[in-house]
């Protein structure tokens, strides 16, 4: 694939920045910083456009906070102006990165997503005896900046664009030269792109047909357990030598025991929510019901949030109807 050129000027075009603002503001219209930006939209866009063009846009203004659902993670959220910049960059760069990825990677891609990944996994589980889960140890914290930039240079040859991408990447833990912040739009796409090289190794060098990746969650299927262990070792070597990443020990199992993937358990014939997802679903429903009962949210908002939770539980036809009904009935029984 030829390297893309002449993209930097597209990033700071007012129309691109305006589209980036609307994407960045989605779900945040009530925040003061968004309202202030919107009140002087043309002026703020002109300021950001000039700063990007002249290379004076301040990058690296983050807020960090800790979440513990589903596991403990530090979220590094950029300030709103930088969020607009990230969307402006990805409006231009995402299509180029996306065209390079293989079909069987599903995160951060239009027309793909979690449900499509689960369906594809179900397809492979139905025709294979064994599966192997590939896990990267502390993936986002382990991506080396220099290697990521070297791979980006294989896709883009616009020097000003590459300098901007380098600034964005090194704004986080630049002193260590490793790691991408969880909570940043560019990080999602860069992390997805970086593991694309492992995708191509698996598909083009190892010729594995049954393979699905969603960000750093990967599963491979094969008729032979021994071959999967060989594949695991080859992948470990490639990840270490080419990507400077460490894969966890091999986890080869029969497909009949069910593969844990994206909050579900994938069987050869059907999909179910896994235990952790059921526990989280039950707890969230109870929290929402209590919030509505105390007047913290409206009945309409409760219905909207329950609809979103139900969509998660029903992904790819997950067999969750009985479970959902039992939780909802218990909520009614517990309601004083």
Residues 68 and 28: beta-carbon distance below 8 Å: no
Q: Tell me how far apart the alpha carbons of residues 275 and 260 are, in angstroms, rounded to a whole number.
A: 10
Q: In sequence order, what are the residues at sequence separation of 6 or more whose Cβ sits closer than 8 angstroms to the Cβ of residue 241?
A: none
Q: Report DSSP state, residue 45.
A: H
pLDDT of residue 101: 97
Separation of alpha carbons 27 and 71, rounded Å: 24
- Residue 203 neighbours by CB distance under 10 Å: 16
Those residues with Cβ within 8 angstroms of residue 199's Cβ, 6 or more apart along the chain or in another chain: 101, 102, 104, 105, 211, 213
Per-residue pLDDT of the chain (336 residues; tens, 9 = 90+): 789 999 999 999 999 999 999 999 998 888 999 999 999 999 999 999 999 999 999 999 999 888 876 678 889 999 999 999 999 999 999 999 999 999 999 999 999 999 999 999 999 999 999 999 999 999 999 999 999 999 999 999 999 999 999 999 999 999 999 999 999 999 999 999 999 999 999 999 999 999 999 999 999 999 999 999 999 999 999 999 999 999 999 999 999 999 999 989 999 999 988 888 888 888 888 888 888 888 888 888 888 888 888 777 776 566 666 777 777 776 554 554
Beta bridge pairs of residue 130: 222, 254
The answer to whether 244 touches 147, Cβ cutoff 8 Å, is: yes
State the pLDDT at residue 321: 66
User: Quick one: pLDDT at residue 69?
Assistant: 67
Helix axes 14-25, 32-39, angle to 10 degrees: 150
The Cβ of residue 23 has, within 10 Å, a number of other Cβ atoms equal to: 15
> Nearest CA to 196 among 107, 89, 92, 93?
107
CB 105 within 8 A of CB 199: yes
d(CA 11, CA 101): 22
Alpha helices in the chain (DSSP H): 8-11, 14-25, 32-39, 41-54, 80-100, 114-125, 139-142, 145-152, 159-170, 185-194, 196-200, 225-243, 275-293, 299-313, 321-334
- A 10 A CB-CB count for 225 gives 15
Query: Residue 170's closest CA among 142, 145, 143, 200?
Result: 145
Residue 195: phi, psi to the nearest 5?
-75, -10
Nearest to 140 by CA among 89, 80, 186: 186
Return the pLDDT at 21.
97
Q: In a 3-state reduction of DSSP, which class is residue 323?
A: helix
- Please compute Rg for the chain using Cα positions: 22
């Amino acid at each position: 694939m030829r390297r893309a050129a002449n993209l930097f000027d597209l990033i700071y075009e007012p129309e691109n920045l305006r589209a980036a603002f609307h994407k960045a503001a989605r779900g945040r219209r009530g925040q003061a910083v968004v309202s202030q930006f919107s009140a002087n939209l043309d002026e703020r866009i002109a300021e950001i456009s000039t700063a990007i063009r002249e290379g004076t846009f301040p990058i690296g203004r983050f807020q960090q906070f800790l979440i513990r659902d589903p596991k403990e993670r530090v979220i590094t959220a950029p300030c709103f102006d930088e969020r607009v910049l990230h969307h402006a960059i990805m409006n231009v760069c995402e299509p180029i990165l996306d065209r390079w990825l293989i079909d069987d990677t599903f995160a951060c891609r239009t027309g793909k997503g979690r449900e499509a990944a689960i369906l594809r996994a179900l397809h492979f589980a139905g025709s294979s005896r064994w599966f192997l889960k590939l896990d990267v140890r502390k993936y986002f914290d382990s991506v080396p900046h220099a290697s990521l930039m070297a791979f980006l240079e294989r896709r883009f040859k616009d020097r000003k664009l590459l300098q901007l991408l380098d600034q964005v990447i090194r704004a986080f833990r630049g002193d260590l030269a490793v790691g991408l912040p969880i909570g940043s739009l560019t990080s999602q796409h860069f992390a997805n792109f970086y593991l694309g090289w492992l995708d191509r190794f698996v598909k083009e060098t190892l010729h594995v047909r049954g393979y699905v990746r969603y960000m750093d969650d990967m599963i491979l299927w094969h008729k032979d357990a021994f071959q999967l262990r060989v594949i695991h070792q080859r992948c470990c070597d490639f990840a270490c030598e080419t990507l400077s990443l460490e894969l966890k020990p091999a986890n080869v199992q029969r497909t009949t025991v069910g593969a844990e993937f994206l909050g579900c358990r994938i069987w050869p014939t059907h999909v179910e929510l896994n235990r952790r997802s059921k526990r989280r679903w039950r707890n969230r429903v109870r929290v929402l019901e209590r919030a509505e009962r105390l007047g913290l949210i409206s009945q309409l908002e409760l219905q909207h949030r329950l609809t979103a939770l139900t969509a998660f539980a029903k992904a790819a036809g997950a067999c969750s109807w009985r479970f959902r009904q039992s939780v909802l009935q218990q909520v009614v029984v517990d309601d004083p």
